[in-house]
Amino acid sequence: MIHFMFATGIENSSPTIEGGRVRQDELEKCRHYDLWRRDFDLVQELGISYLRYGPPIHRTWLGPDRYDWSFADDTFADLRRRDVTPIVDLCHFGVPDWVGNFQNPDFPAQFARYARAFALRFPWVQLYTPVNEMYICALFSAKYGWWNEQQTSDRAFVTALKHIVRANVLAMREIASVRADAVFIQSESTEYFHAYKPASIGPAEVMNAVRFLSLDLNYGHRVSSDMYEYLMDNGMTRDEYHFFLNENLKHQCIMGNDYYVTNEHLVHPDGRTEWAGEIFGYAVITRQYFDRYGLPVMHTETNLAQGEKGTEAVAWLRKEWANVLRVRNDGLPVVGFTWYSLTDQVDWDSALRENAGRVNPLGLYDLDRNIRPVGEAYRELIREWRDVLPTQSVVLALPIFPPSQQQEGVLRRLEDGARDRARRAQGASAASRPSKGVDE
């Protein structure tokens, strides 16, 4: 039975910049590869039972049907031992070098095979975010020109978006074929575009329609006629559009809403945008998304830097929590809240466009693993509210269980089946395996 999911995350962004020559590996920048056991200790010290976490895609997915599971085997076994429930983040802004980027039409089918392979290897995992922030990933990679393909056109954006969302849908289908009660949490940025002047109303209306496209496609929600023309004019086919209408797994989804102080924008008459700061706030914008999709809600990301006063992040935590309670009191089925991430991050002050090594004080802990004031405040908040909020299981089509409450017999059959399939795929010669944990 699911109780309110207080969560954090360990940042595993990995886009490329500089024409693909530099990879921004946040797990490396934040020293998680060396300190992962300590990081899991910190999760438990906070009283957190849910962790947004995933293997580094570029180090794990070596080629078509080739995987190095060694790091994932160690880390996920330890999470299972600790009875921490992972929300598995399989693709976070980047793909392996051999895939190239999100313009590659082979990415969706290949990624679905990767997702299936993960589910077979770790059948006790129930919660997934197959592709993180699909809209932002396509926008930053193919419209703003910041990451990966670094393109700046509507056609490139629509191409990236349709490939990313198709990959997410196919991955959900493959995971569900292995684990029928899998639950998918779409961590997506909740945006709003404010018209700065009367002449800005038209451009703002277009942007406020585009912001929904990733979830519209993912959930099989019919788009407006203007957005349909936009998609068709920029490379989506009728068959591709109807795939999204027919192939969604909405009944197994939780709508994850990410909200930062940078999520609201002012739109100028010429289409330029700038950050507006917090005008509507999380509660108002989340209501817009809920009214559109009608799904259980989880606040899947927020943070703010610890500023000069040292209290800015704590104040933001309290404000976001007040917004969550407001949404819940208004009758929306809210099932969880996340401060993202566990530790400080690196180079997010430039949205990972620069490889400068600048530490951003956004975490519950600093990079020396010392707790920040917001970490202390979050720990206290969890302790005070954990038993106050009633279970929200009635809003979910499928129940969620921690690792310790999984049905062992079912998991053993899944694990045995996964081993049998792996042996058949590898052939007769076990000596051909490159190293422990590597499938080829």
Backbone angles phi, psi at 86, to 5 degrees: -80, 140
- The one-character DSSP state at 372 is P
Q: φ and ψ at 13, to 5 degrees?
A: -60, 145
Question: Which helix (H) or strand (E) element contains residue 79?
Answer: helix 70-82
Query: Does residue 394 carry a pLDDT above 60?
Result: no
Window from 350-364, 377-391, 410-424 with minimum mean pLDDT: 410-424
Say what the pLDDT of residue 248 is: 77
Average pLDDT over residues 73-80: 98
Cβ atoms of 192 and 212 within 8 Å: the answer is no
Least confident of 153-162, 250-259, 422-431: 422-431
Residue 411 has pLDDT above 80, yes or no: no
How far apart (Å, rounded) are the C-alpha atoms in residues 43 and 65? 32
Tokens linked to 159: 């191409």
The yes-or-no verdict on residue 418 having pLDDT over 70 is: no
Reported confidence tier of residue 429, pLDDT bands at 50, 70, 90 = very low
Please, which residues have CB within 8 angstroms of residue 78's CB and are 6 or more apart in sequence?
Answer: 36, 37, 40
Give the pLDDT score at 401: 86
The pLDDT, as a whole number, for residue 435 is 38
pLDDT at position 396 is 67
**What digits encode the pLDDT tens for the residues 106-162?**
999 999 999 999 999 999 999 999 999 999 999 999 999 999 999 999 999 999 999
Over range 231-239, report the average pLDDT: 98
Token pair recorded at residue 199: 């002449």
Lowest mean pLDDT, pick from 22-31, 171-180, 423-432: 423-432
Q: For the residues 84-96, what does the mean pLDDT come to?
A: 98
Range in 327-336, 390-399, 425-434 the model is least confident about: 425-434
282, amino acid identity: Y
Matching residue, tokens 């935590």: 317
pTM, 2 dp = 0.92
Cα atoms found within 13 Å of the Cα of residue 200, Cβ hemisphere only = 17
Domain 5-439 has CATH 3.40.50.10540: no
The band of 431, judged by pLDDT with boundaries at 50, 70 and 90, is: very low
- For position 430, what pLDDT does the model report? 42
> Does residue 393 have a pLDDT over 80?
no
Whole-angstrom distance, CA of residue 169 vs CA of residue 176: 11
Task: Say what the pLDDT of residue 437 is.
Answer: 44
Is the per-residue pLDDT at 434 higher than 60?
Answer: no
Q: Is the pLDDT of residue 206 over 60?
A: yes
Looking at the predicted structure, is the pLDDT value of residue 426 above 70?
no
| Share of residues in the chain with pLDDT > 70 (%) | 90
- With cut-offs at 50, 70 and 90, classify the pLDDT of residue 399: confident
Higher pLDDT, 439 or 405: 405
Phi-psi region of 47 (alpha: psi -120 to 50; beta: other; left: phi over 0): left
Say yes or no to pLDDT of 343 above 60. yes
Confidence (pLDDT) at 432 = 37
pLDDT score recorded for residue 440: 44
For strands 334-340 and 5-9, give the pairing: parallel
Q: What mean pLDDT is reported for the chain?
A: 92
